[in-house]
Amino acid sequence: MSVVEALRGIAHDIQTKPTLAAKVTALRTHSRVLGSEILGILRMVPFATQSYLLYRRLAAGQDRIPVTLTRDLRYGPMPRNRLDVYRRARSESAGVTSLEAAAEPIVLFVHGGVWASGSKWHYAKMASRLAEEGITTCVAEYTLFPEATTDRMAEEVGLALDWVVDNCVEGQNNKTVVLVGHSAGAHLCAMTVVQRSRHPGTYVPAFVGIAGVYDIARHYDYEESRNVHHLSTMKRAVGGPDAFAGQSPAVLLREREGDVSRLPRVHLMASRSDVTVPHIQSVDLRDLLLERGCPGVTLSLYDDVGHGDFIVEWVPRERVGSGRGRELPPHASELVETILSSSSPPLSSSRSTMT
């Protein structure tokens, strides 16, 4: 959450109240909700500190994790059109440079943050562990609200995907690329998938959506029921209520006519314990994709994973000289397995994993 944008949303709502009493009541309500949200942010400080320190060590080549990090590669013209590439370390005798194509799956990860916050370094723990597992992992930033709305953000995700295919997949089949997004990032990835499926030659090989928002209007109703809709930047970031349908992947898929053969393999992950983005968003998208005949759709539901846990609960597999490796929680292990299996033929039918 962007605290600055939340305060702007609160101020705007208070200004619309007709009486002083109504303004005071709104201020009290918003203060309670904002206080709860800020406490949630403060609880993330240890994770953020660990991620930042790991990011700095990897960038300096000082960490014992066998991973190389190449930072701030530009994929587009805007200031935040940059991405980082994490790769499993190789010996110099192997003759493979940090950006030379390697015969392994490649991930482009798109972060969340209510379309108004988020930085590449936040995801150093997840990205470095994926690299340890043999997955080249690109973590992209994109222009945030209020400098951009979601239509522009989705365009930038497409630019980042093109960069990855052009620079990291030389000599390989681009079906090794997996587009992965969390929360707002999952929404932007889904928008990219839907838009590109309409145009030959802009195929997205595979998509993993983690705790994503796919129906904006429905999620706005949920935010309103929690009284966080003024703090959230979602309504403003998509361009207001008139843009809800056009910025909702589920609505676009529901209204779309014709062939779905250009839709990629889709794996959705969500948790029944997620109070930020309810799992029904992922369930409904899965059902819709099946109804439309999407050739490969899978869904994993969990009972005890919080919204941020999908990103926070990653640990290094092994530091050089540290002995035993470290296990991942089930949702993280499944993401690794899904990505590693991405180069296999598409599934002929859907399956659901209820964990």
pLDDT digits (tens, 9 = 90+) for 291-337: 888 878 999 999 999 999 999 999 888 665 554 447 899 999 999 99
Q: Would 315 be classed as within a structural domain?
A: yes
Are 262 and 312 in contact, with CB atoms under 8 Å apart? no
The CATH number that applies at residue 234 is 3.40.50.1820
Are 236 and 9 in contact, with CB atoms under 8 Å apart? yes
Compute CA distances 343 → 113, 147, 157, 175, 267, whole Å. Answer: 30, 37, 22, 6, 14
d(C-alpha 326, C-alpha 305), whole Å:
19
Question: What per-residue confidence (pLDDT) applies to 292?
Answer: 86
User: pLDDT at residue 92 above 50?
Assistant: no
- As for how many domains the chain has, the answer is 1
d(C-alpha 169, C-alpha 184), whole Å:
26
User: pLDDT at residue 1 above 50?
Assistant: yes
d(C-alpha 125, C-alpha 122), whole Å:
8
Backbone angles phi, psi at 150, to 5 degrees: -65, -30
Q: Would 309 be classed as within a structural domain?
A: yes
Residues 68-87: what's their mean pLDDT?
97
Q: Would 7 be classed as within a structural domain?
A: no
Residues 127-143: what's their mean pLDDT?
95
Task: Give this prediction's pTM.
Answer: 0.88
Q: Would 328 be classed as within a structural domain?
A: yes
Question: What per-residue confidence (pLDDT) applies to 259?
Answer: 57
Give, in degrees to the nearest 5, the angle at Cα 194 between 265 and 205. 35
Are 26 and 13 in contact, with CB atoms under 8 Å apart? yes
Q: Which long-range contacts (CB under 8 A, 24 or more apart) does 35-43 make?
A: 37/1, 37/6, 37/228, 37/231, 38/3, 41/1, 41/3
d(C-alpha 299, C-alpha 155), whole Å:
26
Q: Would 68 be classed as within a structural domain?
A: yes
Q: What is the band of 33 on the pLDDT scale with cuts at 50, 70, 90?
A: confident
Question: What per-residue confidence (pLDDT) applies to 343?
Answer: 55
Bridge pairing between strands 67-74 and 82-88: antiparallel
Residues 232-236: what's their mean pLDDT?
93
Q: In this predicted structure, which of 186-195, 300-309, 342-351 has the lowest mean pLDDT?
A: 342-351
Domain that holds residue 117: 44-354
Instruction: State what percent of residues in the chain have pLDDT above 70.
Output: 86
Q: Would 56 be classed as within a structural domain?
A: yes
Question: What per-residue confidence (pLDDT) applies to 201?
Answer: 65
Q: Would 37 be classed as within a structural domain?
A: no
d(C-alpha 123, C-alpha 245), whole Å:
30
Bridge pairing between strands 82-88 and 136-140: antiparallel
Q: Would 18 be classed as within a structural domain?
A: no
Q: Cβ neighbours of residue 240 under 8 Å, at least 6 residues apart? A: none
User: pLDDT at residue 10 above 70?
Assistant: yes
